[in-house]
Amino acid sequence: MTATNHLTNYIIHLGDNALILGHRNSEWCGHGPILEQDIAITNISLDLIGQARLFYQYAAELMNKSSSVTGLATEDSIAYLRDVMEYKNTLLVEQPNEDWACTVLRQFLFSTHQQLLYNGLLKSSDQQIAVISEKALKEVNYHVKWSAEWVIRLGDGTEESHQRMLQAIDSLWMYTAELFEPVPYELWATQNNIGANLPTLQNEWMKKVENIFSEATLPIPIQKGWQKGGKTGVHTEHLGYILTELQYMQRAYPNCIW
Amino acid sequence: MYTEQEIWKILATINDPEVPVLSILDLGIVRHVICKDDENVEVVITPTYVGCPAMDVIAMQIRMSLLQLGIKNIQITTVLSPAWTTNWMSETGKQKLKEYGIAPPRLQKAVHQQNNLFVEEESIPCPLCSSTNTHLISQFGSTACKALYQCKDCKEPFDYFKCH
């Protein structure tokens, strides 16, 4: 692995997390529990897809400079022309929306991680990663606030909503360890002061999650086994279905624009 | 040859497609104008929100306006840092927003962190009746840059251009 490969993989990984969660959230468009929340979740989608574009544009620029890549890379080719095994998002973000409890919990677990990560990346020795993080962080702060409020509202709500949150924790908690377990390109990024130190972030993340869970009267589960692999391209079955929809137009009508 | 001042004047006539009462200068989107010679002009812009769909339209409008002046090579550069903030919005811009029915952003204070959950930004004045007896309906509104409020006195729901 050359340094450029590690760097583009790292940037694409950051972009993939944003794109796939943005796409998942966009599935709520027109189906939100009330109009204002429908607008909220689609606004969060827009922010995340915007982040993905900035990371992909940067990755494309690096790929085009490197001689090993044939053909011109663009943000679109990165999003629309890679298959499942080439995607580097964590398993958490590709999990199905299920109900509102599951959707807001996924957002809370992920955004809390993303807030800590981007805060760390402000000091990245890679200038472009630092400025994208600075820009995105302002919006991520709103995502954390919005999703934490929902976790508390449902956890400490009715018997039914509490039950739904317990189920959501049961389905999603097993994917949280992957957020903090570095894969080779992340280790490389940390060693070169480009990435953040994930194990340190994990402690802070746990404290924040414990605070909100305790206010929401929800337990931190005891997890016996963890699911991981997305960051190196080993995904759950769900990602294939997401890409089928996301990439349909470009696959059916190559180079189509509108 | 056009001077930079003349280019700024042209840019002042371009409005934001989603909030059409504001020019792109009112918003603080245009950071620099560099006139290299007769035919080469560079305009440096910065996005408001990362996913703002208006940015592509704005870049195209800048290009069209400058092409009409006969400038051949127009370079539009996007910079991300320093990150755009509502503090860059002009006073005239804020006044125009209020007259349009959107509460203008207040000066940016502390960034939202987790410790202020369920806490609303204090008393945003209603753009219609100026009452400060208003409440937050949703942190996310009709576009990425707005939150949804309602006035408890005149009952009118309104958009608030949120601090960023």
Q: What is the pLDDT of residues A97-111, one digit of tens each?
A: 999 999 999 999 999
For residue B146, what are its two tokens? Answer: 């707005």
Contact by Cβ (8 Å): B144, B19: no
Would you call A135 and B50 a contact, using CB atoms and an 8 Å cutoff? yes
Cβ contacts of B125 within 8 Å, gap of 6 or more: B103, B131, B132, B134
Could you please state the CATH topology (level 3) that the domain comprising A3-252 is classified under: Ferritin (1.20.1260)
* Confidence category of residue A258, pLDDT binned at 50, 70, 90: confident
B residues 64-123 closer than 8 Å to A (CB): 80-81, 83-84, 111-114, 116-118
pLDDT at residue B109 in the model: 59
Alpha carbon of B162: minimum distance to chain A alpha carbons (Å): 11
Give B-chain residues touching A39 at CB under 8 angstroms.
138, 140-142, 148
For residue A2, what are its two tokens? Answer: 């050359």
For residue A181, what are its two tokens? Answer: 């377990």
pLDDT tens-digit readout, A120-156: 999 999 999 999 999 999 999 999 999 999 999 999 9
- Among A14, A42, A43, most B C-beta atoms within 10 A, so best to mutate, is A43
Distance (Å, whole) CA A138 – CA A144: 11
* Digitized pLDDT (tens) for each residue of chain B, 164 residues in all: 788 999 999 999 999 998 899 999 999 999 999 998 878 999 999 998 888 888 889 999 999 999 998 898 999 999 998 999 999 999 999 999 999 999 999 876 544 444 577 776 667 899 999 999 999 998 898 888 899 999 999 999 999 998 88
Cα nearest neighbour of A36 on chain B: B138
Structural domains in chain B, CATH included, are: 4-78 (3.30.300.130), 86-161 (no CATH)
* Per-domain residue ranges of chain A: 3-252
Distance (Å, whole) CA A7 – CA A193: 12
Would you call A135 and B80 a contact, using CB atoms and an 8 Å cutoff? yes
Give me the long-range contacts of B76-79 (CB less than 8 A, separation at least 24).
B76/B42, B76/B43, B76/B44, B76/B45, B77/B42, B77/B43, B77/B44, B77/B45, B78/B44, B78/B45, B78/B46, B78/B47, B79/B31, B79/B44, B79/B45, B79/B46
Would you call A134 and B53 a contact, using CB atoms and an 8 Å cutoff? no
Give A-chain residues touching B148 at CB under 8 angstroms.
36, 39
Give B-chain residues touching A121 at CB under 8 angstroms.
none
pTM for the whole thing? 0.93
A135 touches chain B (CB under 8 A): yes
Average pLDDT rounded to a whole number, residues A19-36? 96
Average pLDDT rounded to a whole number, residues A211-231? 96
Give A-chain residues touching B50 at CB under 8 angstroms.
47, 50-51, 53-54, 132, 135-136, 139
pLDDT at residue A160 is higher than 90: yes
pLDDT at residue B94 in the model: 93
**A177-181, A209-213, B158-162: least confident range:** B158-162
pLDDT at residue A257 in the model: 85
Neighbours of B53 (CB within 10 A): 14
> Which residue has 């929809």 as its token pair?
A245
pLDDT at residue B2 in the model: 84
pLDDT at residue B115 in the model: 53
pLDDT at residue A3 in the model: 82
